[in-house]
Chains A and B, each alone.
Chain A
Amino acid sequence: MATLELKSLRKTYLTEEIIKGISLSIEDREFVVFVGPSGCGKSTLLRMIAGLEDITSGDLLIDGQRVNDVEPGKRGLAMVFQSYALYPHMDVYKNMEFGLKLAGVPEKERSEKIQHVAATLQLEPYLHHKPGQLSGGQRQRVAIGRAIVRNPKVFLFDEPLSNLDAALRGQMRVELSALHRKLNATTIYVTHDQVEAMTMADKIVVLQKGVVEQIGSPLELYHHPRNLFVAKFIGSPPMNFFSAIFQNGGHDGSSVQLRDGTLLHVPVSPPDILPGTKITVGIRPEHVELAPASDDSGVVEVIERLGAITLVHVRCADGQIIVVQTDGFTTLEVDTPVSLKLPPQHCHLFAPDGLAFEACRRHPLAA
């Protein structure tokens, strides 16, 4: 098992910088998820760690050893690819055997290891099937088995579940989490799916355009997003935003005036900005409260009933749409006038540079 350290890693293709100096340390047995929109460089970063892409500058350390120039096969890592990349002309057994054979593991030991892994992953009945005869989930398992059998220091996953259907994806997610607990291996997992990131990660790294936006536990990202990008990216449906005027603030909170004149006292301490500055208020749909209309501040435009929850899209007087998440039993109908209540303790404030105001008290689950 291993620790990993990235020291201002950079990657330049021709003249374009893809990875712009990423520093990160990954503890032993940690499950780290790289998440971000497509094109943010998360896969490139993973491939740099794997050794499939050259590192333009910076240092990559595995267990304290600099491995920038070590061949991928010699770094002690194993990777599960998005397309699984099974060898189509070899059966399941030979797929798992290939790496061991190249490493010069004796025949008997190989067979023992493969049998053991096959038992763990319930692959025994398929050992002599070719990948073409397996279903998507089974192929996925073989790809994981091929990684496990080499007993690597670090597991790398490159969007491994994105080719599966929704039901299977949920199932494999649980299996992967259980497997990680059992193997206790350091794992780096790349995904664009925030559900995967939130449910599996010990630590999430949010990337955008080759830059780390925030590193933290899933709930830390949810309750204390560091900036507007993370606030928008984490959470589904995404956070609502509207502009407001900063009034004043201190250690116990900040006062802001919304566009309709409402004053909010949010328990966050402001950075060094002047009263009167235009800032952004964010609140998650699950925290907005609907009240019967006392005035014509909003009208229900669309209702999405998902069974357990209902998403209500409210058009405010100024034309902006705000999404509110309520329980599944609401009797609201389209075109009903409603008014919205924003509980101040759930509001996030963002300075004009996009950075969030510091919360006065951290959320107990995201300490």
Chain B
Amino acid sequence: MQAVLEHSAPKGASERKGKRTGLLLLSPAVLILLVWSLVPLAMTLWYSLINYNLIDPTLHGFAGFSNYWYLLTDPDFLYSLLHTVILVVGVLIISVGGGTLLAILYDQEFFGRGIARVLVISPFFVMPTVSALLWKNLMLHPIYGVYSAMMRAVGLTPIDWLARFPLLTVMMIVSWEWLPFAVLILLTAVQSLDSEQKEAARMDGAGPIAQFRHIILPHLSRAISVVVMIETIYLLTIFAEISVTTAGGPGVASTNLAYLIYSRALLQFDVGGASAGGVLAIIIANVAAMFLVRSVARNLEV
């Protein structure tokens, strides 16, 4: 909008009229954006400042910052924050690390490469709820699961993954979903590397590891930063996988910020407290996004 306005810098009456036409044409889009983003934001901000509990209508009135205070001093909140960070960082490490290695592997010539590529991409097309169900019931179920059958087949006692390592298991499931995305982006980046550069490095005496470190990895750095940015945006709000597999439990062992807000609002019906959590989540996401965008923007410069 700014650009449009500056472009038609008003000088005379006719130009002022032109500017008004521009504003008029812009207004539907701006209005829709306002209604869709600002209204919920304003409502969330307002709810976070009042006492609003669906179970207890007697509790009402302006609450000030007591919702925030209650949340910030709640150990569950700090845990959920920690779990969010662990999930984001863990999945990023697994998907970017594994994605880079797989991308280089799938760049090599081998028999059945086309089919293998389709297979490696396919988990990305499975929706989060379904993949969480698949992992929970088909693979990791302590009695019927494929994994448990494999363990028993060699005489070992299967581990009940979701009960014993809930956060780690959620991380694995989410990584399984996001690894294909990283492979997809990084594979195209690997393929865009000029083969003469690798050959020049070979002539310079670089072995496969030196080539990877000095030629391939720097070439991939932009693609990696794009993957990190996009994945972070989605990983901050992991919800379906947790809801389906552990429901945030046992206790709060696998509750992240998104799930905490959900449980406050729709399990404990504390709209005020949940809204306060939402506002905090917005602030955290924006701080993270600011750092990310800045570092990615620097990386995208030549």
Q: Contacting chain A: which of B125-133, B196-204, B255-263? A: B196-204
Interface size on A, residues (CB 8 A): 26
Say yes or no: is B215 at the interface (Cβ < 8 Å to chain A): yes
From 173 to 210 in chain B, residues with beta carbon under 8 angstroms from any chain A beta carbon are 194, 196-197, 199-206, 210
Partner of A150, one of B201, B204, B210, B219: B204
Distance in Å: Cβ of A157 to nearest Cβ of chain B: 12
Say yes or no: is B294 at the interface (Cβ < 8 Å to chain A): no
Inter-subunit contact A85/B205 (CB<8 Å): no
Inter-subunit contact A102/B199 (CB<8 Å): no
Other 11 A-B pairs with CB < 8 A, given A79-B200, A81-B196, A98-B214: A51-B203, A52-B203, A73-B203, A78-B203, A79-B199, A86-B197, A87-B201, A89-B218, A89-B219, A98-B204, A99-B203
The 30 sampled A-B contact pairs (Cβ below 8 Å) are A51-B203, A52-B202, A52-B203, A72-B203, A72-B205, A73-B204, A73-B206, A74-B205, A77-B203, A79-B199, A79-B200, A79-B203, A81-B196, A82-B196, A85-B194, A85-B200, A86-B197, A87-B215, A87-B218, A88-B219, A89-B218, A89-B219, A98-B201, A98-B214, A99-B204, A102-B204, A102-B206, A103-B205, A146-B200, A150-B204
Inter-subunit contact B203/A102 (CB<8 Å): no
Inter-subunit contact A85/B199 (CB<8 Å): yes
Residues on B with beta carbons closer than 8 Å to the beta carbon of A77:
203
Q: How far is the CA of A85 from the CA of B302 in the complex (A)?
A: 17
**Nearest-neighbor residue (CB-CB) of A132 within chain B:** B302
Say yes or no: is A83 at the interface (Cβ < 8 Å to chain B): yes
Mask of B206-234 contacts with A, CB within 8 angstroms, 1/0:
10001000110011010000000000000
Say yes or no: is A278 at the interface (Cβ < 8 Å to chain B): no
Q: How far is the CA of A72 from the CA of B198 in the complex (A)?
A: 12
A-B CB proximity, top 8 nearest: A73-B205, A99-B204, A85-B196, A85-B200, A89-B218, A102-B205, A81-B196, A72-B202
Distance in Å: Cβ of B218 to nearest Cβ of chain A: 4
Say yes or no: is A130 at the interface (Cβ < 8 Å to chain B): yes
Residues on B with beta carbons closer than 8 Å to the beta carbon of A98:
201, 204, 206, 214
Distance in Å: Cβ of A135 to nearest Cβ of chain B: 16
Residues on B with beta carbons closer than 8 Å to the beta carbon of A82:
196
Distance in Å: Cβ of B215 to nearest Cβ of chain A: 7
**Nearest-neighbor residue (CB-CB) of B214 within chain A:** A98
Inter-subunit contact A87/B205 (CB<8 Å): no
Q: How far is the CA of A220 from the CA of B249 in the complex (A)?
A: 87
Distance in Å: Cβ of B117 to nearest Cβ of chain A: 23
Residues on A with beta carbons closer than 8 Å to the beta carbon of B199:
52, 72, 79, 81, 85
**Nearest-neighbor residue (CB-CB) of A74 within chain B:** B205
From 53 to 74 in chain A, residues with beta carbon under 8 angstroms from any chain B beta carbon are 71-74
Residues on B with beta carbons closer than 8 Å to the beta carbon of A74:
205
The answer to whether residues A83 and B194 also contact, given A52-B202, A72-B202 and a CB cut-off of 8 A, is yes
Q: How far is the CA of A85 from the CA of B197 in the complex (A)?
A: 5
Say yes or no: is A92 at the interface (Cβ < 8 Å to chain B): no
Q: How far is the CA of A315 from the CA of B172 in the complex (A)?
A: 80
The answer to whether residues A50 and B205 also contact, given A89-B219, A98-B214 and a CB cut-off of 8 A, is no
Distance in Å: Cβ of B302 to nearest Cβ of chain A: 5
Residues on B with beta carbons closer than 8 Å to the beta carbon of A52:
199, 202-203
**Nearest-neighbor residue (CB-CB) of A52 within chain B:** B199
**Nearest-neighbor residue (CB-CB) of A150 within chain B:** B204
**Nearest-neighbor residue (CB-CB) of B204 within chain A:** A99
Residues on B with beta carbons closer than 8 Å to the beta carbon of A99:
203-205
Residues on A with beta carbons closer than 8 Å to the beta carbon of B203:
50-52, 72-73, 77-79, 99
Residues on B with beta carbons closer than 8 Å to the beta carbon of A87:
197, 200-201, 214-215, 218
Mask of B138-150 contacts with A, CB within 8 angstroms, 1/0:
0000000000000
Q: Of residues B194, B196, B200, B218, which shows the largest number of chain A Cβ atoms within 10 Å of its Cβ? A: B200
From 130 to 157 in chain A, residues with beta carbon under 8 angstroms from any chain B beta carbon are 130, 132, 146, 150
Q: How far is the CA of A77 from the CA of B204 in the complex (A)?
A: 9
Distance in Å: Cβ of A304 to nearest Cβ of chain B: 38
